[in-house]
Amino acid sequence: MLNGKKIVLGVTGGIAAYKAATLCSKLVQKGADVHVIMTASATQFITELTLQTLTRNAVYTDTFDEREPAVVSHINLADMADLVLVAPATANVIAKMAHGMADDMLTTTLLATTAPVMIAPAMNVHMYDHPAVKHNMNLLAERGTLMIEPGEGLLACGYVGKGRLEEPETIVDVVERFFAQRDEVSWKRSEPALVEAFALGGAQEGIQESMQSGVSVQNTLLKGKKVVVTAGGTIERIDPVRYITNDSSGKMGFAIAAAARDLGADVKLVMGSTQAQPPENVQIIPVQSAQDMYEAVSQEWDGADIVIKAAAVADYRPKEVYMEKIKKKGDTLSLELVKNIDILETLGKRKTHQYLIGFAAETQSLEMYAREKLERKNCDLIVANDVTRSGAGFGTDTNAVHIYDRDGLVEELELMSKEDVAHRLLRIAAERIAGRN
Ligand code: PMT
């Protein structure tokens, strides 16, 4: 089901635009909150009123048609989207997307969103085969755009061949499975809608051969990348039976490690003290103290592409670790603590090619403290969470974070699953690395 999923549906000007009515109706029936953006030419084939009535949301056609002064519509749509689906996608909009054009509401929104983008091309068979169209689709594929291939059959223009918009029922099924399996998609060639999850890193051939074999296709946004994640708290021993730790369950770091795995990365998970089940199919490096964690991360540092420090590392440890259990004496016991290595700051000083992401666990002045850490520790991104907020921070399955870079706020993620936070964070990192390369 698509309950609560916000889907921005782009409708462009081909005869298949009439199918947008059925597509909207079926998405809404599945519980999706559908917001339609039409190109001017699409309104020649189907009316805004039809789609507005079916979605019970305003339909946008014009970038400057601002209905609420306090809201910039295309940015609002871009930020709210869990998925941007362009169906039908004409050769023209595919060309505009491939070359970063933004001359109408739809293409402007497409450039502004960090949500996953899925397109369902529909056009004349010869247009679909044209080298320019193929080139543009490959460009989009390399950036992680998901494709729903056209069906074959009699086209509106009288030709027979590949170019017919896939049936709305099939598109809805693909969208449902996308959300259900997020980035791990298993399609068999026998299925009518061949959704080819293309992605960064030129893995298309890998995708196609695995499709021939019918094995499950993983999104490969991070294929070939080595990702190191730290998770959980650290254990700073006092004596053989006592230690200092914190409330970190490891869930945030585990979600990041699992998401990186699902995006095709080679994942090393440096795991401190945790209360959750770590993900499978990642290499786990168990550690206890901050020093242990530093040494483990240092081992992986030179070969790492992305390092994400989600662990809650103790800033101090007992100056003296007793070899025997401290016996209870008087009414008080004083422990002198000394400062631990700041792993993130140390890595920041050694950073060369690595993309370094830190976390900030704050209880007040979130932005100020987070941006100060970002600068001081030389991070590329800092993920700040108010750990006093209900549903966020330690031990929860959800989190609400603000992601900052040196220029300020990159994205605010409202309360959502730690898995969704992880995927959004990794997409931002992958796009930044792609841009850098
Ligand atoms: O594990 P969960 O239960 O899911 O909880 C998730 C979380 C709240 C632990 C996580 O979202 C989080 O905020 N992790 C960072 C916790 C923390 O130590 O924050 P900090 O602001 O004290 O540290 C800032 C950054 O420096 C962190 O990336 C931390 O890993 C790093 N650090 C801190 C101290 C130290 N000695 N070495 C470090 O590397």
Q: What domains are defined for the chain?
A: 6-218 (3.40.50.1950), 226-322+332-436 (3.40.50.10300)
**pLDDT per position as a tens digit, 329-344:** 999 999 999 999 999 9
Ligand 1 midpoint to CA 182 (Å): 26
Check the annotation: does 359 bind a ligand.
yes
Atom of ligand 1 nearest to the CA of 340: 36
pLDDT band at 159 (very low <50, low <70, confident <90, very high): confident
Check the annotation: does 5 bind a ligand.
no
pLDDT band at 148 (very low <50, low <70, confident <90, very high): confident
In the predicted structure, residue 146 carries a pLDDT above the cut 50: yes
Average pLDDT over every residue of 70-95: 90
Q: How high is the pLDDT of residue 303?
A: 96
Average pLDDT over every residue of 407-416: 92
In the predicted structure, residue 327 carries a pLDDT above the cut 70: yes
Mean per-residue pLDDT of the chain: 87
Ligand 1 midpoint to CA 180 (Å): 30
Q: How high is the pLDDT of residue 191?
A: 37
Average pLDDT over every residue of 295-314: 98
pLDDT band at 150 (very low <50, low <70, confident <90, very high): confident
Atom of ligand 1 nearest to the CA of 232: 1
Ligand 1 midpoint to CA 310 (Å): 5
Q: How high is the pLDDT of residue 170?
A: 84
In the predicted structure, residue 217 carries a pLDDT above the cut 60: no
In the predicted structure, residue 213 carries a pLDDT above the cut 50: no
Average pLDDT over every residue of 224-241: 96
Least confident of 120-134, 229-243, 353-367: 120-134
Average pLDDT over every residue of 378-399: 96
Ligand 1 midpoint to CA 254 (Å): 13
In the predicted structure, residue 205 carries a pLDDT above the cut 50: no
Atom of ligand 1 nearest to the CA of 401: 11
- Residue 157 among the catalytic residues: yes
Which residues lie with the beta carbon below 6 Å from any ligand 1 atom? 248-253, 290, 309-313, 315, 340, 342-344, 358-361, 373, 385, 387, 393-395
pLDDT band at 175 (very low <50, low <70, confident <90, very high): confident
Check the annotation: does 319 bind a ligand.
no
Check the annotation: does 377 bind a ligand.
yes
Ligand 1 midpoint to CA 361 (Å): 6
Check the annotation: does 226 bind a ligand.
no
In the predicted structure, residue 219 carries a pLDDT above the cut 70: no
pLDDT band at 84 (very low <50, low <70, confident <90, very high): very high
**pLDDT per position as a tens digit, 3-38:** 889 999 999 998 899 999 999 999 999 999 999 999
In the predicted structure, residue 130 carries a pLDDT above the cut 70: yes
In the predicted structure, residue 90 carries a pLDDT above the cut 60: yes
In the chain, pLDDT over 90 holds for what percent of residues? 66
Q: How high is the pLDDT of residue 192?
A: 35
Which residue owns the Cα nearest ligand 1 atom 35?
342
Tell me, letter by letter, the H, E, C secondary structure of the chain.
Answer: CCCCCEEEEEECCCHHHHHHHHHHHHHHHCCCEEEEEECCHHHHCCCHHHHHHHHCCCCECCCCCCCCCCCCHHHHHHHHCCEEEEEEECHHHHHHHHCCCCCCHHHHHHHHCCCCEEEEECCCHHHHHCHHHHHHHHHHHHCCCEEECCEEEECCCCCEEEEECCCHHHHHHHHHHHHHHCCEECCCCCCCCCEEECCCCCCHHHHHHHHHHCCCEECCCCCCCEEEEEECECCEEEECCEEECCCCCCHHHHHHHHHHHHCCCEEEEEECECCCCCCCCCEEEECCCHHHHHHHHHHHHCCCCEEEECCECCCEEECCCCCCCCCCCCCCCCCCEEECCCHHHHHHHHCCCCEEEEEEEECCCHHHHHHHHHHHCCCCEEEEEECCCCCCCCCCCEEEEEEEECCEEEEEEEEEEHHHHHHHHHHHHHHHHHHHC
pLDDT band at 181 (very low <50, low <70, confident <90, very high): low
**pLDDT per position as a tens digit, 345-360:** 999 999 999 999 999 9
Q: How high is the pLDDT of residue 166?
A: 85
In the predicted structure, residue 206 carries a pLDDT above the cut 70: no
Q: Which of these is catalytic: 40, 157, 180, 337?
A: 157
Average pLDDT over every residue of 264-292: 95
Average pLDDT over every residue of 218-240: 90
